[in-house]
Amino acid sequence: MASAWWPCLILALLSGLAASGFPRSPFLLLGKRSLPEGVANGVEVYSTKINSKVTSRFAHNVVTTRAVNRADTAKEVSFDVELPKTAFITNFTLTIDGVTYPGNVKEKEVAKKQYEKAVSQGKTAGLVKASGRKLEKFTVSVNVAAGSKVTFELTYEELLKRHKGKYEMYLKVQPKQLIKHFEIDVDIFEPQGISMLDAEASFITNDLLGSALTKSFSGKKGHVSFKPSLDQQRSCPTCTDSLLNGDFTITYDVNRESPGNVQIVNGYFVHFFAPQGLPVVPKNVAFVIDISGSMAGRKLEQTKEALLRILEDMKEEDYLNFILFSGDVSTWKEHLVQATPENLQEARTFVKSMEDKGMTNINDGLLRGISMLNKAREEHRVPERSTSIVIMLTDGDANVGESRPEKIQENVRNAIGGKFPLYNLGFGNNLNYNFLENMALENHGFARRIYEDSDADLQLQGFYEEVANPLLTGVEMEYPENAILGLTQNTYQHFYDGSEIVVAGRLVGEDVNSFKADVKGHGMDFQVEVTTEKITLWNRAVPSTFSWLDTVTVTQDGLSMMINRKKNMVVSFGDGVTFVVVLHQVWKKHPVHRDFLGFYVVDSHRMSAQTHGLLGQFFQPFDFKVSDIRPGSDPTKPDATLVVKNHQLTVTRGSQKDYRKDASIGTKVVCWFVHNNGEGLIDGVHTDYIVPNLF
């Protein structure tokens, strides 16, 4: 996987165009013009098509634009596409009058040098540059002779991430002129099945969008098509300007009968993990806020507005504190406090009173917040089953105290010690964003740039919503070492509600049946319900369903549940108490028998004497005596007299399988069968132990 270098790709198109008879020209981007019927400066862009194929969250996109020079002289034709920052370019070609000139995709530093050299020599080159919150811009220009046609084709790919319960495909629509044939065509294939699909455009009313947009999904396939006519593209009925200028967004999600899904294709696997219905883990948040002089005015006001909204979303089981830094460091409270209604009201008053002053001491502000979280855990001021988070907001570089970025990173890394994540928010452009990003990444978090727009407070609130609902901590995705060659990131500090963990790797050999994936995470407190069809974890009355096709491990302090695909489920807790539930499968077409479950207890002597139930009443030793062994109705199965619990019972000897040591075949053991549904042996009657509606 190349995810580590996706955001910094630069493309250089180094063709022989300068020697092909076309005039050399400087790099130039055409501006928007209002000229008749799709012709701008003598150039008509008559076709633009965005064709996307999405398979298992992976999008393969081809942007094709065709233009013709209708002028009497050579004209410059410009092609620019805004790409998601998480995308990477795989191909680019120019085709002029049937002759194709291929581009070369280069990594960042190499591409920069070749790009500068190409431009200085008058050759055609393209460069990817940052272009706003979610996008980077690829732009290339070429001179085209009179009457000639040119086709630009850009291919880029992107792994779609799950955000707030949906996958988002983000396309920038900006043709700058009316285009006879404009189309967005997206095909989606998801092996798990598509549960919802939607599309919206920021630049067009719902009425017009509805007439130009078609969307549908059924089973594993979905389709979206946006094909506005010339009249639908006009900014007004008589205008020659295009209103196609904005965002076109497709969102969808998949069916989740089980929280994990492993897909294997051509010797590679991708493991998607997104459990649903788990309760939120309480969180302890240290907000480290820059109140230096550069935050004065609108920045600080928007920060206050965002914090006030965040306080509205805090849950009572959460803990928090505010650490403010300028030239020095101050705090709202001496230690973390619970988010009770009274404390939250006091916090609102504190936030409203924040004032800007002085310099920027990032190092001391962060270390104070980290120390506060560490002490809260050490002094048991926060719940044992909770998770800690540091969120820092700053708009500038450190300029007082420790100001060396590498030293600040070292100090923060040592103080956190891998125990919890750091999230850095960079406000505006006048800061070392790379420093904030690197520091966050090496502490299991991430950085975000907050743009100085009117909605900056909503940007801040939106970030908080991403990390406000941790469901699991210490998530580990484990795979058999002898079955894989390579692996992407497989450990995560947190799993948040509405997101998804994706791990990919290469398999050794072709025996996919031996491949299994184990998921370990902390943060669950559950009850288990097992049938031959599914396994349900009830976590605070919230269900999460698995199937017998899963291989999953879920752990919490003192408790572990492991599902072994198509074999058994093992639940362990306390001082070595282990239950094994074995799935016994029979021939599907058998006229009588059905699949059934075997329930077994390992180390039952560790159970409490208070344990009861159908099996629990026999976990502790009890007195019994077997005597008067005699022939029974079946010559191979003698009868005897069993004295137990002051009852005298007739029992018959037979055999049964014990699956504790061998879950597949079992071990044959001799036993005595009690007649009349265990009457006289079990407490009460057998109907006391029947679970209604199990199947």
Mean pLDDT of 683-687: 82
> Of residues 145 and 631, which shows the higher confidence score?
631
CA angle, residues 135, 139, 143, in degrees to nearest 5:
165
- Angle value at C-alpha 284, between 303 and 334, nearest 5 degrees: 80
Q: Is residue 274 part of a domain?
A: no
Rounded mean pLDDT, 175-204: 88
Whether 445 and 315 share a structural domain: yes
pLDDT band at 388 (very low <50, low <70, confident <90, very high): very high
Q: Are 319 and 376 in the same domain?
A: yes
Instruction: Judge if 211 and 174 occupy the same domain.
Output: yes
Among the residues of 126-275, which ranges form H helices?
A: 206-212, 230-233
Compute how many other C-beta atoms are within 10 angstroms of the C-beta atom of residue 37.
10
Q: Which residues fall within 8 angstroms of residue 668, CB to CB, at 6 or more apart?
A: 655, 656, 657, 658
**What's the mean pLDDT in 563-590?**
77
pLDDT of 691 reads: 65
- 320 shares its domain with 295: yes
What element of type H or E holds 68?
strand 58-69
Least reliable range by pLDDT among 18-22, 57-61, 122-126: 18-22
Q: What is the CATH number of the domain that holds 424?
A: 3.40.50.410
Characterize the bridge pairing of strands 162-163 and 10-12: unpaired
- What's residue 16's pLDDT? 42
- pLDDT higher than threshold 90 for residue 333: yes
Name the average pLDDT for the chain: 79
Would residue 385 count as lying in a domain? yes
Q: Is residue 269 part of a domain?
A: no
What is the rounded end-to-end Cα distance, in angstroms, of the chain? 43
Longest dimension (CA), the chain: 116
**Single residue among 602, 617, 635 that ends a domain in this structure:** 602
pTM, rounded to two decimals: 0.60
Same domain, 296 and 404: yes
* Structure-token pair, residue 429: 């452009």
Q: What is the pLDDT of residue 22?
A: 35
Per the domain annotation, does 246 fall within a domain? yes
Domain annotation covers residue 415: yes
Same-domain pairing of 548 and 574: yes
CA angle in degrees (0–180, nearest 5) for 376-525-277: 105
Q: Identity (one letter) of the amino acid at 621?
A: P
Q: Which residue has the tokens 């295009």?
A: 242
pLDDT the model gives residue 24: 30
312 or 453, which is more confident: 312
Residues 455 and 505 in one domain: no
**Of 86, 88, 92, nearest in space to 64 by CA:** 92
Confidence of residue 329 (pLDDT cuts 50, 70, 90): very high
What integer pLDDT is reported at residue 442 of this predicted model? 92
Mind listing the pLDDT tens digit for each residue in 465-510?
A: 777 778 777 787 777 777 777 788 878 877 878 788 888 888 776 5
Helices 405-416, 362-378: axis angle to 10 degrees equals: 0
Q: What residue has token string 């049938």? A: 531
The most confident of 46-55, 109-118, 555-564, by mean pLDDT: 46-55
Answer yes or no: are the C-beta atoms of 503 and 271 closer than 8 Å.
yes
Q: In terms of residue numbers, what domain contains 391? A: 283-468
Q: What is the pLDDT of residues 597-643, one digit of tens each?
A: 877 777 665 666 667 777 777 777 778 899 999 999 998 999 999 99
Q: Count of domains in the chain?
A: 5
Model pLDDT, residue 516: 65
Tell me what the mean pLDDT of segment 138-150 comes to. 80
Question: How much is the average pLDDT of 432-460?
Answer: 81
Residue 37 has pLDDT above 90, yes or no: no
> What is the three-class DSSP state of 63?
strand
**Is the predicted pLDDT of residue 361 greater than 80, yes or no?**
yes
The dihedral region occupied by 362, where left means phi > 0, alpha psi between -120 and 50, and beta the remainder, is: alpha
* pLDDT at 62 (0 to 100): 94
Q: Do residues 414 and 497 both lie within one domain?
A: no
At 29, the pLDDT band (50, 70, 90 cuts) reads very low
Q: Are residues 619 and 683 in the same domain?
A: yes
**Residues 673 and 575 grouped into a single domain:** no
Q: How far apart are CA 447 and CA 59, in angstroms?
A: 24
Residue 268 counted as domain residue: no
- Shared domain for 561 and 427, answered yes or no, is no
265 within some domain: no
pLDDT band at 79 (very low <50, low <70, confident <90, very high): confident
Instruction: For residue 74, give both structure tokens.
Output: 């050579």
Q: Which of 44-48, 129-133, 241-245, 650-654 has the lowest mean pLDDT?
A: 129-133
CATH number (domain holding residue 141) = 2.60.40
580 and 676 belong to one structural domain: no
Tokens 């935050």 sit at which residue? 295
